[in-house]
Each structure stands twice: as C-alpha cells, then as structure tokens.
A and B are shown apart, each in its own frame.
Chain A
Amino acid sequence: MDLWQVPLLFSRLPMFPFFDLAHYVASVVALKEQRGAVEVSVRSPFACWFSAMLYCFGGSLLSSLMLAEPPVSFLAKSANILLASSVWYLVFYCPQDIFCRCFSFLPLRLLVAGMKEVTRTWKIASGVAHADSHFKDAWLVMVAVGWARGAGGGLISNFEQLVRGVWKPETNELLKMSYPVKITLIGAVLFTLQHSQYLPIARHNLVFLYTIFLVIFKVKMMLTRCATSPLAPLEAALGHVLFGLRKAPSKVKGESATSSNRSSICDRPSEQHHDGVKKRQAKKTE
C-alpha cells in the first residue's frame, strides 16, 4: 500500500460504529459537565435523554430544518439512536459512576476526542455534498449546511439548554463563537471551496489534512489545558483590518472587544473545559 493511498482509504472509513460511538461518548460527557445536568437527570430522565440526543444529533436536526427535510429523520436511524441512548444511560446512571471514571483516564479521553474530530470532518463533507444535491452552486447554502452538520450540537445550544430549563438569551453561539463552532465554520468554507473547484485539492486529501489539523490542535489543547485557539493571532489581525476589532490586553476575562474565542472559552464550560469542571462534577455525583 502506497503512502499516497492513505488519505483515500481514510476518507472511506465507515463512521459507524466506532467513530460514532466516540462522538456520542464525548458529547454526552460534555453534557454531563454542564451545570445542572446531573440534577436534570435525576428529576426528569426523559429531558436528560432528549438533551443528550440534541447534543449527539443536533447537527442532523439543524441541517434538515435548513433544507426543509423532516426534522425527525435523525430518529429513523434506529441503530444510532440505540447506541447513543446506551451511552447516555451508562454515562448518567452507571452504578458507582464506573463509566465516567474509566473515561477520565487521559489517553482514553484523547483517543475519543480525536475520533470525534474525525466524525466532525466527515459530517462537514457530507453536509456540503448534500446541500449541493439540493441547490446547485449555492455557496452560502453549502457552507451553512456543512457548518450545521458539523457543529450542530453547539449551534442549537440555546434551545438545548431550554430543554433543561435554562434560558440565557443574552448570549448565543453566533454572538460569541466557541472554538469548535468556529473551526467547523472554517472547515465548511474550505470544503465548499473544494466542492466548487476553487480550491485545487482532491476531496480525500482535504478530509485527511483537515482531520489531522483538528486532531492535533484538539489534543494539544487538551494536553496543555490552554484554551486559546490556534487561530487567535490570525483572527485578531484580520479582525483589526477588516472590522476594526481592537486587541484588548488579556487582563480580565470579561466582555472585551477582542477576538471572541478567548473570552468565550474562559467564560462558558465548553467541551474543552473538561478538566476543571469534571472533578467538581465527579465529586458531586458521588
């Protein structure tokens, strides 16, 4: 097998069941680390389950709403729903919290995070292709659907929180983008450019390179526990030139007129913020 065939074979990997399993585990554990999620799981298991499904399948839901397809179509994939539901049950209701304790083993977390990024790339690519089948040559629609598929769970966070009884209208993922949502948007733009043949690279190569980029930075951010995105300097420069965004000194993590990723990651428990919150939650559930 030649080395140049690796991207091609990589792009043909099936997502189900292992990569999808990793995606569900990472998503549901991120849900568990949200403030108040464990109480919701005690008070109303159904609301907790629905929240978990929104985390796992939010992307499909949002993209089907955008394209006027039935929003419940994600429920038609029964095997995936059963797998996600089993993961949800194990994460929230396993005796002695065995599942979460096993999962707190760092190499395992890194592996799962890496596999989740693979599914993200795959979803962006399939979203862009799906949008193209509906609307020929519609760049914005391709970017929007690819973005929704890849980052759906994050984008609908206001409404997912509403299921758990939390309503925070003063902020949303569009006003203050977290790192995964931002990186998915960039990926959607890249894949749209490649699909419209403005980017002279083969699809499987782009899938491979983009996934490697995502995995490396995700693992680096988890290992170093550093929340600043790798794109921050580029963003600050572009933002200053195009939009007059001023670079504020990083003294206080309040609202600042700077590139929003820094403050958003510091302020809200996003999925990178596992470690600090996790221990608190783990103690709480014992």
Chain B
Amino acid sequence: MELSDALPLGELAAAFASLPVFPLFDTAYFIVSVLYLKYEPGAVEMSRKSPFASWLCAMLHCFGSYILAALLLGEAPLGYFSNNSSVILATAVWYLIFFCPMNLFYKCVSFLPVKLVFVAMKEVVRVRKIAAGVHHAHHLYHHGWFVMMATGWVKGSGVALMSNFEQLLRGVWKPETNEILHMSFPTKASLYGTVLFTLQQTHWLPISEANLIFFFTMFMIVCKVFMTATHSHASPFAPLENLVCPVLFGSVSSGHPGHHHDHHGASHEVSHPPPPPPPPAKSKEELNEGTRKRKAKKAE
C-alpha cells in the first residue's frame, strides 16, 4: 500500500510483525494461560493431589493451539513439544505459579498493572499465531479458504476450543456446553481475526500482512486490557451483532411456541431479549472473576 508505506507506520508495523516472540512474549502468554488455569475451580486441589495432571493441564493451556492446529492438518500433535526450551519455560511458569513458597510469584503476576502488561503481551502472541496459522495452511492448501480460517481460528483460541477435553483431564465432564455453543470473547475475536487474515492472504483485503497484524493486535490489546481492568464481560462485538444477527438469522421471540431457540452463529447470547442475563456457562472469563478472590484467599 503506497499510503501506509509513505507513513512511518509501515516501518513500525513491519518491525512489530518481526518482533521475536520467544522468550518474553511467550513467557507472558504462558503466565496468563496458567493463571487462568489456576482460576478454574478445583485446579489448586488438583495440583496438590496430582501434580502430573496439573502439569499436563498447564501444557494444554500453553500449547493447546499448536496441538489443535496439528490435529486439523494431520501433523503430529506432539510436534511443537520438540521445542525443549518452550516446554521447559512453560513448566517453570507452571511450577512457580502453583508451588512458589508463600505464593509469591502468583501474587506478583496477579497485581493488576503487571497483569495488564502480561495480558497485552499475550494478545500480541495470539494475533501472531493466527497469522502464522493462516500462512501455514495457505502453504498446504492454496485455495482452501475454510482450511485457512479453521487453522487460524484454532491457533488463536487455543485451549478454549478443547475445553471439554481439558476439563475431562481434570475429571470434570460437562457435555451440555462447549466453547462453540457459548463463545467467549477471545474465541469470537479469533474467529473474526482469522476471517480477516484469510481475506488478506487471498488478496481480497488490500492491506499488507504486517499492517493487519499491527492494527488487529492494537484492537485486541485495547479490548482485552479494558475488559480485564474493569472485570467486564460485555463483548465489544455486541452492538454490531445486535444489529446484524436479527437481520441475517432472525430474532428469538420468547413467547413464540414454534420457534427454534438455537440459532447457529456466534451470537447465541446476544439474541436474547434485554436485559441479557449472563449465559450459563460463560467459561473462563466469568469463572475467573468469580473465583479469583476466593482462590486468592485460598492460596494464601
């Protein structure tokens, strides 16, 4: 693009897109992921009763995106675990968060300003993973748009999409809900992001990859930092979805007997009539905030 190349923004975006992710940003990603694992109900007891299962859950949280992408593309699910340094780093983060004496490390990283920095760094990694996933799928399937979208999506959402099986590892089986039925914000944002990146990769979106990475990362950082700081669950996509989805998919009218209640599409919770109660299994976000204080007290 001539315009953005003329501005220094082009160089900034290019430099940003070529920042090395390992080790700093990866460490932040691992810290936030294992922190969210710790917020899950029962995770601390599990770490005391069965450290191995706790470690395995932490590995799923940290590397779930790579496992899922490999499964989709027919590569070895354990392929990414051949990077010994990443695995050792993730293991060290897990150990410090769960077993540091007097819980020092956990208290340091869950101090809100520090946590916001880590959350922002995690979003950098997430967007880079989406871009890498779309790129990788494009190598294998030049015209497979849906393959590219699927790969980018699983890379961005990571463990969330296999949350049922991750919970099964912890001994919890909740088949009545899953991440696709009740999408959390990161999963939904990854879905939209992967569509954008796929359109960019197939040259339908006239923007360079570095610029798209930069802008999408900024968007994700702003949203996620705001949501973490204010402990809010309101999705930034809600206004747009409230406009578009009733048009495309019809609206749910509560008094109507013959209507389907499950609309396929990502906006399940948005099509409820106002005021929207929080959906029943809002997964990590809601569990996080509700149990965080309880866990902080318990962990002390």
What is the CA–CA distance of A176 and B171 in the complex, to the nearest angstrom?
A: 10
CB of B51 closer than 8 Å to a CB of A: yes
What is the CA–CA distance of A255 and B49 in the complex, to the nearest angstrom?
A: 9
Query: Judging by beta carbons under 8 Å apart, are B75 and A137 in contact?
Result: no
CB of B99 closer than 8 Å to a CB of A: yes
CB of B295 closer than 8 Å to a CB of A: no
Which residues 32-88 in A have Cβ within 8 Å of B in the complex? 65-68
Q: Which of B70, B78, B169, B173 has the most CB of A within 10 A?
A: B78
B52 CB contact (under 8 Å) in A141, A145, A174, A255? A174
What is the CA–CA distance of A229 and B75 in the complex, to the nearest angstrom?
A: 37
- CB-defined contacts of A67 to chain B, threshold 8 Å: 76, 78
A175 CB contact (under 8 Å) in B77, B79, B170, B173? B170
Query: Judging by beta carbons under 8 Å apart, are B81 and A140 in contact?
Result: yes
Which residues 170-196 in A have Cβ within 8 Å of B in the complex? 170-172, 174-177
- Give the segment of A105-113, A197-205, A207-215, A239-247 that binds chain B: A239-247
Give the interface SS of chain B, mostly helix, strand, loop or mixed. Answer: helix
Query: Judging by beta carbons under 8 Å apart, are A68 and B50 in contact?
Result: no
CB of A135 closer than 8 Å to a CB of B: yes
Query: Judging by beta carbons under 8 Å apart, are B84 and A140 in contact?
Result: yes
B50 CB contact (under 8 Å) in A140, A169, A175? A175
What is the CA–CA distance of A138 and B83 in the complex, to the nearest angstrom?
A: 7
Query: Judging by beta carbons under 8 Å apart, are B81 and A144 in contact?
Result: yes
Query: Judging by beta carbons under 8 Å apart, are B76 and A169 in contact?
Result: no
- CB-defined contacts of A257 to chain B, threshold 8 Å: 48-49
CB distance from B43 to the nearest CB of A (A): 12
Can you list, as one digit per residue, whether each of A242-286 has a CB less than 8 Å from chain B (1) or not (0)? 111110000000010100100000000000000000000000000
- CB-defined contacts of B46 to chain A, threshold 8 Å: 175
What is the CA–CA distance of A144 and B83 in the complex, to the nearest angstrom?
A: 14
CB distance from B89 to the nearest CB of A (A): 12
Query: Judging by beta carbons under 8 Å apart, are A68 and B77 in contact?
Result: yes
- CB-defined contacts of A103 to chain B, threshold 8 Å: none
Query: Judging by beta carbons under 8 Å apart, are A244 and B99 in contact?
Result: yes
What is the CA–CA distance of A237 and B103 in the complex, to the nearest angstrom?
A: 21
CB of B56 closer than 8 Å to a CB of A: yes
Can you list, as one digit per residue, whether each of A141-153 has a CB less than 8 Å from chain B (1) or not (0)? 1001100000000
What is the CA–CA distance of A255 and B81 in the complex, to the nearest angstrom?
A: 32
Query: Judging by beta carbons under 8 Å apart, are B50 and A137 in contact?
Result: no
- The answer to whether residues A172 and B87 also contact, given A135-B79, A144-B81 and a CB cut-off of 8 A, is no
What is the CA–CA distance of A115 and B48 in the complex, to the nearest angstrom?
A: 36
- CB-defined contacts of A65 to chain B, threshold 8 Å: 77
What is the CA–CA distance of A169 and B173 in the complex, to the nearest angstrom?
A: 6
CB of B47 closer than 8 Å to a CB of A: yes
CB of A134 closer than 8 Å to a CB of B: yes
What is the CA–CA distance of A68 and B77 in the complex, to the nearest angstrom?
A: 7
CB of B172 closer than 8 Å to a CB of A: yes
Query: Judging by beta carbons under 8 Å apart, are B78 and A176 in contact?
Result: no
What is the CA–CA distance of A170 and B53 in the complex, to the nearest angstrom?
A: 13
B78 CB contact (under 8 Å) in A66, A174, A260? A66
Query: Judging by beta carbons under 8 Å apart, are B82 and A138 in contact?
Result: yes
CB of A139 closer than 8 Å to a CB of B: yes
Query: Judging by beta carbons under 8 Å apart, are B49 and A172 in contact?
Result: no
- The answer to whether residues A169 and B52 also contact, given A68-B77, A140-B87 and a CB cut-off of 8 A, is no
Q: Which of A138, A145, A246, A255 has the most CB of B within 10 A?
A: A138
- CB-defined contacts of A145 to chain B, threshold 8 Å: 78
- CB-defined contacts of A260 to chain B, threshold 8 Å: 49-50
Query: Judging by beta carbons under 8 Å apart, are A138 and B99 in contact?
Result: no
- CB-defined contacts of A174 to chain B, threshold 8 Å: 50, 52-53, 56, 169
A66 CB contact (under 8 Å) in B56, B76, B169? B76
Query: Judging by beta carbons under 8 Å apart, are B48 and A244 in contact?
Result: yes
Q: What would be 21 A-B contacts, judged by CB atoms less than 8 Å apart?
A: A68-B74, A68-B77, A138-B78, A138-B83, A140-B84, A141-B76, A141-B79, A170-B173, A171-B171, A172-B168, A174-B52, A175-B53, A175-B169, A176-B50, A177-B52, A242-B51, A243-B47, A244-B48, A245-B48, A245-B51, A255-B49
Top 5 A-B pairs, shortest CB-CB distance = A138-B82, A169-B173, A135-B82, A68-B76, A140-B81
Q: With contacts A138-B84, A175-B49 known, what are 5 further pairs, Cβ within 8 A? A: A67-B78, A68-B77, A134-B76, A145-B78, A176-B50
Chain A residues engaging chain B, CB cutoff 8 angstroms: 65-68, 134-141, 144-145, 158, 167, 169-172, 174-177, 239, 242-246, 255, 257, 260
